[in-house]
Amino acid sequence: MADAAMGAKMPTSNPHEVPDGSAAADLPMPLPPLIEVEQPRRPSAAEEARTLVANTTVGTLASLTSAGDPWASIVTYGQLEDGTPVLCVSRLALHGRNLAADRRASLAISATAEDSQDPSDVGRVTLAGEVEQPDGSELDAARAAYSAAVPSGEVFSEFGDFTFWLLRVHQVRWVGGFGRMANADPASYAAAAPDPVAPRAAFAVRHLNEDHSDALLEMACALAGHTDALAATCLRADRYGLDLDVKTPRGRVLARVGFAQPIVATDGLRAATVELARRARGA
C-alpha cells in the first residue's frame, strides 16, 4: 500500500471520484508551472486520515451479523493517541452483539461538509481491522478518550451493559475528494499527527478568498510558477501550505504553495500565510 497522497492515477474507489482526474467535474487541472519552482510538501494519506479521524466524532461501523451479513450502524467514537478508534457499545444492541461474536469491523468517517459543498468532494476515510476490549491503563485511556469526544459519553459508559472496544487498525483508505485518494499503511497511520490547523482551516480559506485575493494571485504567479495567472482562489489550507485554483489563459490550474516551515501550533496559520504573501511579493 502506497502512502503517497494525491495525484497518482489510482483506480477510483468511489463512484464520485472522476476517473480521469478532473475534467468531467469541472475541476482545476494539475498543469505544470511555467517556471521552475520548488515542489511543495503535501500531507501524506496517513496524515490526511489522522486529521479526519481527529476532527470528527461520528462514523459508521460495519460489523457482521451471526449470519455473516454486513450491518452498518451509526456510532460515536473517541480516539487514542495513536489514532486507534474507541467505541462504547451496548451488548444489547445488534452491533454490540455482532462485535462480541466476530471481531472484524470497519469504520467509515466523513468530514463535515462545509456549506453546500458537493458531497462527493468531501474527505472521508475507511479504517478496517479487528476490535479488542482494552484493559488496565488502556481501558482508562479508552474511557478518557471516549468521554472527551462524546458529550453524553460519560453517562453511557457507566451503564453495565456497555463495553469499550478499540478498533485495531489493519487497513486505511483515504479519499480526499475528486481525484485525491490513497491507502496508508497502519504504522504510518499510527505515527502521523493530525493537522493542527484543520479546525481553523475552513475559516482561513474563506478569509483569504474574501479579503486577500491579490495576495493569492501573487502566490500563484511568483511561488507556484503560474506566471500567466489571472486570478486565484484558495481551495484548502493545511499545515504544509495552500492549494489554489488558478485561472490562466491555459485553463484552470490546480496549484500549490508551501509554507516556509510546517505549522505545529493550532494558531499558526495566520503567520505562515503572511510569510507566504511577503515571499510572493518579494518583500
Neighbours of 112 (CB within 10 A): 12
Helix, strand, or coil here: 70? strand
Give the C-alpha separation, 24 to 143, whole Å.
46
For its own copies, the closer of residues 8 and 230 by Cβ is 8
Q: Which of 53, 78, 145, 162 binds its own copies (CB under 8 A)?
A: 162
Does residue 60 interact with its own copies by CB under 8 A?
A: yes
Does residue 63 interact with its own copies by CB under 8 A?
A: yes
Does residue 166 interact with its own copies by CB under 8 A?
A: no
Give the C-alpha separation, 75 to 197, whole Å.
26
Q: Which amino acid is at 12?
A: T
Comparing C-alpha atoms, which of 201, 3, 194, 173 is closest to residue 80? 194
For its own copies, the closer of residues 88 and 182 by Cβ is 88
Does residue 188 interact with its own copies by CB under 8 A?
A: no
Give the C-alpha separation, 107 to 99, whole Å.
12
Q: How far is the CB of 120 from its own copies (least distance, A)?
A: 5
Give the C-alpha separation, 103 to 132, whole Å.
7
Place of cell 485561472: 247
Q: Which residues between 6 and 25 bind its own copies (CB under 8 A)?
A: 11-19, 24-25
Q: For its own copies, which stretch binds (CB under 8 A), given 58-66, 199-207, 216-224, 239-247?
A: 58-66
Place of cell 475528494: 177
For its own copies, the closer of residues 178 and 259 by Cβ is 178
Q: For its own copies, which stretch binds (CB under 8 A), given 121-129, 209-217, 238-246, 249-257?
A: 121-129
Does residue 132 interact with its own copies by CB under 8 A?
A: no
> What are 142's three cell numbers?
479508552
Q: Which of 45, 75, 141, 242 binds its own copies (CB under 8 A)?
A: 75
Does residue 73 interact with its own copies by CB under 8 A?
A: yes
Does residue 199 interact with its own copies by CB under 8 A?
A: no
H or E element: which one contains 251? strand 251-258
Give the C-alpha separation, 196 to 262, whole Å.
10
- The binding site for its own copies (CB under 8 A) comprises 11-19, 24-25, 57-64, 68-76, 87-90, 92-96, 104-108, 110, 118-120, 122, 124, 126, 128, 150-152, 155-156, 159, 161-162, 173, 175
